[in-house]
Amino acid sequence: MKYSVRKLTLCLALALGALPVHAGDFTPQQTVDHQGQAYHLANTWKAGQGQIHYEYTTGGDTMAQWHTLLTISALTVPDMKAGQWAAGFKAQLDKMKPVPSYHVAYKDDWAEILVIYPPDDRYPTYEANVQRAVWSPSCQAVMVYAFAEHFPASNSEKEVLAGLRSREKEVMAQPWAPTCQP
């Protein structure tokens, strides 16, 4: 199974089911600056009712071949806060075979998730993700800022974790406050 932010979000969409949506209008930026690097909107997709994802790549990366990927998601499930989203995400991680290495921390209005998906026969690289989720009152949605990076399979998981921790600091320091128009 391909481990990716997309795959897990789809799993979460299935877990949440088709729920009614009520949210403000979130307009994605065409370009997002992440640590001085310009990421350009490359793909938009929906996963179930109430979930929309905006994927950004940089340089010559494509959606099929990327080294780093930035994803901003709007999860407009009624009465769901960031902590509930993180708990559901953790439950989906625990169901995966093999279970990836991860760390989940959350309160009601915020969440932080770190995940390392191991290489396999189909996808011969590690995929490391840092996800920062916040409840946005203006969007009436959980908004997720996710940064993913591929690491060579020749790296040890300890080396990947060191890279992930470095990216974690960047993501948490990223000035990001999503807003929506009513």
Percentage helix, strand, coil for the chain under 3-state DSSP, each rounded to 5: 25, 40, 40
Does residue 181 sit within a domain? no
Does residue 179 sit within a domain? no
Token pair recorded at residue 136 = 């946005």
Of 83, 173, 91, 76, residue with least CA distance to 130: 173
Does residue 128 sit within a domain? yes
Structural domain that includes position 57: 5-173
Residue 7 has pLDDT above 60, yes or no: no
pLDDT for 80-133, tens place per residue? 899 999 999 999 999 998 899 999 999 888 999 999 999 988 889 999 999 999
pLDDT at 138: 85
Does residue 49 sit within a domain? yes
pLDDT, mean over the chain: 85
Question: Distance between CA 74 and CA 23 in Å, rounded?
Answer: 9
Residue 6 has pLDDT above 70, yes or no: no
Structural domain total, the chain: 1
pLDDT at 11: 43
Structure-derived torsion over alpha carbons of residues 11, 14, 15, 21, reported in degrees to the nearest 10:
120
pLDDT for 10-64, tens place per residue? 444 444 433 333 345 788 999 999 989 999 999 999 987 788 999 999 988 999 9
**Tell me, what CATH number does 18's domain have?**
3.40.1000
Does residue 182 sit within a domain? no
pLDDT at 22: 39
Residue with tokens 């790549």: 57
The conformation of residue 153, written as its DSSP 8-state character, comes to T
Does residue 63 sit within a domain? yes
pLDDT at 37: 93
Does residue 159 sit within a domain? yes
Does residue 178 sit within a domain? no
pLDDT at 4: 52
